[in-house]
Amino acid sequence: MRPGVPLAALAVAASVLAGCLGTTTDSPAPIDIQSPGTWTPLAPMPTARQEVAVAELNGRVFVIGGFGPGGEAVATVELYDPATDRWETRAPLPAATHHAAAAVVGGRLYVAGGYGGGRVSWTPLRIVYEYDETRNSWATRAPLRLARGGLAMIALGSRLHAVGGAGDSVSNAHEVYDPASDRWTDAPPLPTARDHLAAVTFQGRLWAIGGRTSFMGTQYVTVEIYDPATDGWSTGTPLPVGRGGLAAAALGDRLYVFGGEAPLRIFSATEMYEVAGNRWIAKDPMRTPRHGIGAAVVGNRIYVPGGGTQPGYAATNVNEAYTP
C-alpha cells in the first residue's frame, strides 16, 4: 500500500475500476484494466473439499486430502486432466490428512505434514508420502523433523523445501528433503513464523507469501525470499492485504496469488507481482472467492480447485482456471 493512502480509499477505487473487469475485486492493488486475464469454470471435483494439497504431475492436476463437507479429514486423491476436462480417482493416501503440502520433484509427487482428526481436534503430523503414478501407489518416506500442518512446500532443483506451518504454535521451520538419501535437514529458518502461507518457486528462489498466526490473529502481508545460492533470506514487496489460506503460482516471468481468508472474510483477489515495477497488480478476481486452496500450472493456465467458500468449514467442488 502506498504511504499516506488509506486502505478504504484504495478499496473504493478498486471497486469502481473493477466494473471494467465485470466483477468487483477486493484487492486494494492497482487494477490492470488492459490485460486482466480471465477465469473459466471447469468440470467440478467429484468430491467437495477444502484445506487441500494441490500439485501438477505430467500435465495433470492432483488434489489431495483435505476436509470433506462435514469437516472430516479425508484421504481422497483425485486428478484433473485439462486435455479432457475430466476427473479420475487415484489411490487414496495411506492416512487421512488435511492442511498438508504437496510438490513434485524428480517426476514423483510428495505430500508432507498436515493434521489428522476432524472438526473438533487436530493432531499435527510428520508424515511424508511419495506417489508413483505408474503403479498408482503411495510409499512412506522419511518423516518431517517437526510435526506441523498449514505448511507450504516447493521444489528447488532436486530437493524439496518445506516451510512454516503450526504444531503447538506457528513455526518458522525450514526443512529440506533429498529424495536420493530420503533425508530431511534443517535450513535457515523462515524469518517470520506463520502457517496457512503460500510458497512458490520463482526466479530460482523460494517465495514464502502471506500466512497468519491464527484464525483471529495476525494476517501477514509478508513476502520472504530464500536464495539457495546464498543460503539466506531477503524481504520482498508485501502483499496489498494480509491473509492466510491463499494459493500462489508462477507462470513464465509472472508470480500470482489467489484468494485467501482473514477473520470473517473470504477473498476473491487475483494479484500479480510485476517484476519491472516491483509492485502487486490486481487482475480479474476469482469467480468463486475461496480459501484453503492450492494452485497448479498446466500450459498457459493456472488451475485452482476446491477450497472453502466461507470462513471456517464450507467445502466446495468448484474448479476454475485463470488464463493471464
Q: Does a structural domain hold residue 261?
A: yes
Q: What is the pTM of this model?
A: 0.92
User: What total of structural domains would you count in the chain?
Assistant: 1
* Position 88 in a domain: yes
Please name the residue that has the C-alpha cell 514423483. Answer: 108
Digit-coded pLDDT (tens) for 205-263: 999 999 999 999 999 999 999 999 999 999 999 999 999 999 999 999 999 999 999 99
Classify residue 17: in a domain, yes or no: no
SS3 call for 17: helix
Whether 21 maps to a domain, the answer reads: no
pLDDT score at 14: 38
Quick one: average pLDDT of 155-176?
A: 97
Would you say residue 8 lies in a domain?
no
Write the pLDDT tens digit of every residue in 70-127.
889 999 999 999 999 999 999 999 999 999 999 999 999 999 999 998 777 899 999 9
pLDDT band at 312 (very low <50, low <70, confident <90, very high): confident
22 pLDDT band (50/70/90 cuts)? very low
Q: Is 4 left (phi over 0), alpha (psi -120 to 50) or beta?
A: left
DSSP H or E run through 15 = helix 7-17
Q: Whole-angstrom Cα distance, residue 13 to residue 26?
A: 10
pLDDT at 25: 76
Q: What is the structure's pLDDT at 146?
A: 98
Question: Given this model, what pLDDT does residue 120 score?
Answer: 76
Helix (H, G, I), strand (E, B) or coil at 246: coil
In a domain, 186, yes or no: yes
Query: Residue 281 maps to which CATH number?
Result: 2.120.10.80
Range(s) of the domain holding residue 191: 30-323
Mean pLDDT over residues 279-299, rounded? 97
Which pLDDT score, from 0 to 100, does residue 24 have? 60
172 is a domain residue: yes
Rounded to the nearest 5 degrees, what angle is found at the Cα of 142, between the Cα atoms of 136 and 144? 110
Burial of residue 38 (CB within 10 Å: 0-12, 13-18, 19+) is: middle
Is 18 part of any domain? no
Task: With cut-offs at 50, 70 and 90, classify the pLDDT of residue 17.
Answer: very low
Nearest to 115 by CA among 163, 78, 186, 167: 167
